[in-house]
Chain A
Amino acid sequence: MAVLTVQNLCYGYAKGTPFEKAVLHDVCCTFGEGEIVAVIGHTGSGKSTLLQHLNGLLKPDSGDVLLDGESIYRSKAALRECRFRVGMCFQYPEQQLFESTVRDDIAFGPKNQKLAADEIDRRVKESLAYVGLRESYADKSPFDLSGGEKRRVAIAGVLAMEPEVLILDEPSAGLDPAGKKALLKLITDYHAQTGSTVIFVSHDMDDVAEIADRVLVLSKGRAVMSGTTREVFARADELLEMGLGLPEATSVMLRLRHEGLDVPTDVFTAEEAAAALLAFARKGAGV
């Protein structure tokens, strides 16, 4: 069942000024319940713009966005409900922190949802645990934290709203390798425990290969490919042509194939590559 459906969406920025710019052209896509979907595409391909339609922050020039089969733009109340059900975490979310303590900042969303005080308290604790911050952080000022810690607090602020659909725009941009890993784990943990749908943007194909069920590829404002991670990465030539990368493991296998070795190329993660190479070596030794 599709939770979110995007129908023939067109959008342009700065309508009516000389800076007018069409960004999305006739985009159709669906996001199924409980899936982890990665949205990839070159810089400026319209990924962030598309995501901002999914919780109604932008209004399409034409086309529609359906949440559980109903248009999110049908009324003001529907739009507000959609904001609570679809949680959105922006690119560089650390810039949006404003409260004097981490606790208050995380509680901002739940407070807007008009939840009871003890429920808010529970959610603050829970989401701090999700993002791997100790409870002692709750009383610090968000402005005294490091960039990576701020990022986690901002993500906790979205998780605290317990959204059914979690949208993350380049959540791991600018983090160190350990931070990146922790973030992927956070996403998969949240997904496993709540069964919610996760949509994320990433330029790191290894991350995509590791956690995504499906991949949506945008190019110049059009949805050009969509399918399971396997299907999409199998079209390596087209991806490379669009200026996108491939998972490290796939690149290695393609290179080996290019060098004349008969290895499989439908391999996307380091573990799969290791297994495939091992099998290849055994076969070689057997002959």
Chain B
Amino acid sequence: MIRDISIGRYFPAKSFVHAMDARAKLLLTLAMIVVTFLCKNLYSLAALCAFTILVYLSSRLKPLLILKSLKPLLPLLILTVIMQVIFTKTGTPVLTVGKFSVYDDALIMSLFVCVRILVLIVVSSLLTYTTSPTRLTDAIERLLSPLKHLKIDVGTFAMMMTIALRFIPTLIDEIDRLTSAQKARGADFESGNLIQRVKSLFPIFIPLFVSAIQRASELADAMICRCYTGEGRTSYRVMKFGWRDAVALLAVAVFTGGVITLNVLFAPLL
């Protein structure tokens, strides 16, 4: 199950999205997140879904990948819908059972919240799926580099990001291995009440932290041995905006314009 969560992982391939400049991808992802919150009626929401799917398909990654990654979100989405149905009491009732009625506003709100969560996850997953962690941190470093004038150590921050991203898959592998090892000793993670279940996680997380801390200090030693000081580092890769970035920028701009137009043309629901 934990292996199915693929956000944060990188899947190398040859595609339009993979070949884009990491900085452009990062900025456009942020733009998409903003647009997600601009959608005010069903037409713009539909446009949002369509555009997101189109962008995902252009990455040439298997749809199954993102679907598996979204599956663990299902309980969260269901919870959202339940909350909306219970607490939203405006609009017209569409269904009444005894004293309890479900209002149309509740359903509309649920739809908007769910679609927004899903789109957020898809676009941010797509960013990490198609961009190697080193490129991504390079991009963050370049985009934040104006902050250097404020005496903020952007390079060290980027290095921390790189290392953190680099170790996510390692930690997932380790959780997997420890889970198997403790299961082999009869550990049971699937039954019992909440307290028992939380307790059953100790045999996994204690060794995980022990080895993570050990690994961190070994890594720090290894970096010092290779004379890392965090100062005066230059980059091996050259970053260049290309025609793909221009095309993508144009597409997102047209899409944003479209969403705003749809918002103006049709009455907002929220």
Digit string of A198-241 for contact with B (CB within 8 Å is 1, else 0)?
00000000000000000000000000000000000000000000
Report yes or no: A98 in contact with B180, Cβ–Cβ below 8 A. Answer: no
Report yes or no: B186 in contact with A97, Cβ–Cβ below 8 A. Answer: no
Among the interface residues B6, B181, B202, B203, which one has the most CB atoms of the partner chain A within 10 A? Answer: B181
Per the bound structure, the CA–CA distance linking A148 and B189 in Å amounts to 29
Q: Using a CB–CB distance below 8 Å, which chain A residues touch chain B?
A: 14, 16-19, 52, 55, 57, 80, 83-84, 87-90, 93, 95-98, 108-109, 112-113, 143, 157-158, 161
Report yes or no: A90 in contact with B184, Cβ–Cβ below 8 A. Answer: yes
Report yes or no: A16 in contact with B65, Cβ–Cβ below 8 A. Answer: yes
Report yes or no: B61 in contact with A98, Cβ–Cβ below 8 A. Answer: no
Report yes or no: B183 in contact with A18, Cβ–Cβ below 8 A. Answer: no
Per the bound structure, the CA–CA distance linking A14 and B11 in Å amounts to 12
Quick one: given A18-B61, A98-B202, A108-B203, are A157 and B3 in contact (CB under 8 Å)?
no
Report yes or no: B68 in contact with A112, Cβ–Cβ below 8 A. Answer: no
Per the bound structure, the CA–CA distance linking A63 and B107 in Å amounts to 46
Report yes or no: B210 in contact with A143, Cβ–Cβ below 8 A. Answer: yes
- Asked if B72 is at the interface (CB within 8 A of a chain A CB), the reply is no
Report yes or no: B211 in contact with A95, Cβ–Cβ below 8 A. Answer: yes
- Asked if B64 is at the interface (CB within 8 A of a chain A CB), the reply is yes
Digit string of B185-203 for contact with A (CB within 8 Å is 1, else 0)?
1111000000000000011
- Asked if B62 is at the interface (CB within 8 A of a chain A CB), the reply is yes
- Asked if B13 is at the interface (CB within 8 A of a chain A CB), the reply is yes
Report yes or no: A52 in contact with B186, Cβ–Cβ below 8 A. Answer: no
- Asked if B182 is at the interface (CB within 8 A of a chain A CB), the reply is yes
In B198-251, which residues have CB < 8 Å from any A CB?
A: 202-204, 206-207, 210-211
Report yes or no: B203 in contact with A98, Cβ–Cβ below 8 A. Answer: yes
Question: Which residues from chain A contact B186 at a C-beta distance below 8 Å?
Answer: 80, 83-84, 109, 112-113, 161
Quick one: given A14-B3, A18-B65, are A98 and B207 in contact (CB under 8 Å)?
yes
With A52-B180, A84-B186, A93-B181 known, 13 other A-B pairs at CB within 8 A are A14-B3, A16-B64, A16-B65, A18-B62, A57-B184, A80-B186, A83-B184, A89-B184, A96-B207, A109-B186, A112-B185, A112-B187, A143-B210
Report yes or no: A161 in contact with B183, Cβ–Cβ below 8 A. Answer: no
Give the number of residues in B that approach A within 8 Å (Cβ atoms). Answer: 28
Among the interface residues A84, A112, A161, which one has the most CB atoms of the partner chain B within 10 A? Answer: A112
Q: Least Cβ distance of B217 to chain A in Å?
A: 14
- Asked if B178 is at the interface (CB within 8 A of a chain A CB), the reply is yes
Report yes or no: A108 in contact with B62, Cβ–Cβ below 8 A. Answer: no
Per the bound structure, the CA–CA distance linking A286 and B1 in Å amounts to 71
Question: Which residues from chain A contact B178 at a C-beta distance below 8 Å?
Answer: 95-96
Q: List 25 A-B contacts (CB under 8 A).
A: A14-B3, A16-B64, A17-B6, A17-B11, A18-B11, A18-B12, A18-B13, A18-B65, A52-B180, A55-B184, A57-B184, A83-B185, A88-B184, A89-B184, A90-B180, A95-B177, A96-B203, A98-B203, A98-B210, A108-B203, A112-B185, A112-B188, A158-B185, A161-B185, A161-B186
Report yes or no: B62 in contact with A83, Cβ–Cβ below 8 A. Answer: no
The 3 closest A-B pairs by CB, nearest first: A112-B186, A98-B206, A88-B184
Q: Closest B-chain residue to A55, C-beta based?
A: B184
Q: Closest A-chain residue to B67, C-beta based?
A: A16
